[in-house]
Structure 1
Amino acid sequence: MTGVQTKAGTDEAFPLFGRIGADAGREAVLAHLAEAARTVRRRDIQVVHDAGQGHIGGEFSVIDLLVTLYMHVMNVSPELLDAPERDRLILSKGHAAAALYTVLAARGYIGRDELKTFVQPLSRLNGHPARTKIDAVEASTGPLGHGLPIAVGTAVAAKLDRSERRTFVILGDGELQEGSNWEAFMTAGNQRLDRLVAVVDRNRLQQGADVAQTNDLEPLADKLRAFGWDVHEVDGHDHGALIDTFAGVPALSGRPTFVIAHTDKGYPVSYMRDQVSWHHKVPTAEHVRIALDELGNQ
C-alpha cells in the first residue's frame, strides 16, 4: 500500500479492494464491503478537501450503493470492460463524481494516485464523469435527468441483443423532479425492461432545501408501481439489505426494478449528517481530521 500525503496533513493508506463473491460467506462479504466503504469515505473527503471543490454530502450518502454494486453485485471488473455481457452502471447524479472515482480507484479501474488530480487542468477526473475520458464510465452525466433516459436506452439495446447483462442507474431524489425521468419511467415500464435497475439515493435533501419543500415526490413508491415498476424500499447504508434486494433482479414479475434507498446526506459523519449545507460545502483541514477520527472509530 502506498501512503498518500494530502494538504490536510494526513498520510492515508489507500488499499485496493477486489470483488468478493457470495462463496466467501455472508459475514465475510459484509465485513469486506463495510471496510471498503469506510476506506472510500476516508479517501474521498481528502480528495474534495485537496481539490477545493466537490459535493461531499451527496457523495457520502451514495458510497454504500457504489461499493455494494462494484465490489459484489455487478458482473464487471477492470478486466471485463471490453466484454459485451458485462453489467453497466450509470451515475445519473454526476455531481457525486469524486465518490465514483474513489470507488473506481479502490477497485482498480483507475490509478489510486490519479485521485490527486481531481478537477485539475487536463485531468481525466472532471467534476462530472466523462465517458470520453475513462473507460469505466458508461455515460457522461451531470445535467440532472439525463442518466435514466440513457440507462433505458442501454437496457433496450440489451433486450434487443437478447442479452442477460443488467443496467443499473443511480439517481438523486431531487433529480426526480426532472420531467425527462418520468418519460423514461413510463417507457421502461411499458417495455418491461426487467434487467434495468433504477436506484434513488433518497437522502431527502437537495441543493439548498429539503426535497419535500421544493417539489414533494410522495407517494413515490405508488407512483412508480403505477408506471409499471417493481418497487423496493431499503436502508441504503445496509450492505446486506442492498445485496438481498439486488439479488431479485430480474424481477419475477418481468418488470424493471426501482429501489428507494433511504440514506442520510453526509453519512455517517456527525457534523455533516443530514445537513443540507453540505451539498457542496468544502471541508476544512479540521473537518477532515474530525471525519477521519470518526471513520477510524467506526
Structure 2
Amino acid sequence: MPLAPEIQQFILGFKDRWDGSVNTACQDFFEALHLSIGPLNPDHTIKYEKNVKYGPDPRHRLDVFWPADATSTNAALPVVVYFHGGAFKLGDNSITPHMHANIGRFFASQGMIGVLGTYRLLPEARFPDGQDDIASALSWLHDKVHQYGGNRNAIFALGQSAGGGHLAMALFSGNLKSDQGQSLVRGVLLLSAALKYDLSKKGRRESMEEYYGTTDHSLIQSRSAYGILQDLPPFEDADVASVPTPELFLMLAEWDFEECVQGNLDFARLYAERRRRLPRFEVLPGHNHVSYALSIGLPGDEVGPKIADWVRQCSEGASS
C-alpha cells in the first residue's frame, strides 16, 4: 500500500525544489500526519531513553528506543542508528514532537534497537568534528548497546544528507573501527548524503568554507566524502585490513535536488572504479530530500520496511 494520495500530491507540489521553506513545510505537514494517526503499533510496547550522553559536548546525545522485552529476555537485536541532516548547521534528534522519534519507534517496533544520534554543528563545529562525533557515537554503542538488548556486531548506521556526509567521511577515513580493529558497523546506509559540494552556490560555499576553515575550494573538496574516497588506493592495491568492510547502500529520492543527485552519482561511479563493484543503489520513487525519512511509520510507508529488510538480510550470521 503506497502513501496516501494527499501525501503524494504534497510532495509532487515541490518536485525537486529545495530550500528552507520547503524543509519547514515538510516538517509541519508530516508532523500533523503523525499526530493524527496516534501511537505507532500501540500493541507493541516500546521503551525509550532520551539524551543519552556519548561524549562531553552538549551535542553528544543519543535517543534510544527498544522493545520492552529486549533486555529482560537477553536479546541480541540488530541496532539501527539514524544521524539526521541539516546542511552542517541545523537539525537534531527531535525537530518536532514526532520526528525523528518516528524513526526510532519504527525500528523498535520491528524488533530492533532504534537510535537517533546528533553531532556538533556550525558555527561551533569545524572539520573533522562531524565525522569524529559519529565515530564516537558508534564506538559508545559498540561498547554499551548490549544494555538495551542490542547486538554490538549488528549495528547499522544511517546518515541522511549532512549526516550521511559525516558518516561517509568517517567510514572512508577508517574511523569506524574499534580499538581492536573490529568494524563498528555491519552496514552503512547513505540517504541523500552530502558526498560532494557545489561551491558555486553561495550558501553552500559559505558554510563549507566555515566548516573546513579555508577558502581553498580544492582542499574543501579533497576533504569531502568523495575526495577522501578518491585518495584511497584501488581495492586490489590496498591493504585488506584498511579497506572498509561494512555493507554499503546508497539511497536517493526521485525528487532530490541537483547537487545531491550529481554528488551521489559521481560518488557511485568513483566507488565502482576504486572497489571494482557498484554499491547497492536505489531511488525512492515519489519522494523528495526529506519526505522518505519524515514519513517512516505512516500508513503506506515503504521505506522503513525496506530498510528493516536490508538490516535483517545483513544481520544473518552476525554473532552476539
* Bucket of the pairwise TM-score, normalised by the shorter protein: 0.3 to 0.5
Give the TM-score of the pair, scaled to structure 2. 0.37
Q: Which has the higher strand share?
A: 2
